[in-house]
Amino acid sequence: MPVINNYREAWLAKANIDYFAPFISLWLACNSWYRSHYSDLTASNNPEKEGTDRDFINKLKTDFTRRNHLYKNFEDALLGSDEKKKVSFKTNMELLLFSLNRAELQPERLVQKCSFEYFLTDYSLKDNPQSYVNIIATPRINKDNTVHKDDAENVIKLDTKYIVNDIKIVFAGLIELIYQIRNMVIHGHVKPEKDEHDVIKYCYLILNDMMGA
């Protein structure tokens, strides 16, 4: 009789998705979009001089109009009427929170680590430790596990964790965080280990939803 080999573990290993490459490809798609969408950042007196990545990121983080479809999709995924989409997006946000705490990624130019406790909304203030915003909220919880009525309007529940109910701050900080992680990957400052890979995975899934892919 023929020998039947069990290749389960080998095939399962091959089935695991390495999110590093898809994350960079997705960022390139995002980069292409914002450079085209905000082409007005090109100097009018010198059309050959394009805006820097920082110019585009700053514009992207501060455009809260419907023109910015990343912000529009972010708002819809976090607060919209599609419950399935909201649950998925909020779960990925919380898993990103946890994976960041495990990975402890420190960008070279920032004074704080990548964390939901240190969201940077204004890059020009990156050298001031007091300019980083803690978006993690700790509302009072009633005995029935509901949020106290005086705190309910100030928080957004992810899965088990809460964040502040200021989506402009959350969006701006999240874009900056993903951009910083992109920079760390490109420059080889992220170890190819599980905790770091989890960060990349959830950055990819969140950005993918914001891109409307």
- Write the pLDDT tens digit of every residue in 140-187: 999 999 999 999 999 999 999 999 999 999 999 999 999 999 999 999
Q: Where are the domains of the chain?
A: 19-211
Asked whether the beta carbons of 136 and 163 are under 8 A apart, the reply is yes
The Cα 97–Cα 107 span in angstroms is 16
**pLDDT < 70 regions, the chain:** 1-5, 42-50, 213
- What is residue 45's predicted lDDT score, i.e. its pLDDT? 44
pLDDT recorded at residue 206: 98
The whole-number pLDDT of residue 14 equals 79
Pairing of strands 155-157, 132-133: unpaired
Of 81, 79, 82, the C-alpha closest to 93 is 79
Q: How many other CB atoms are found less than 10 A from the CB of residue 108? A: 9
User: Do 65 and 208 form a contact (C-beta atoms < 8 A)?
Assistant: no
Which residue type occupies 57? I
pLDDT of residue 144: 94
Structure confidence at residue 11 (pLDDT): 79
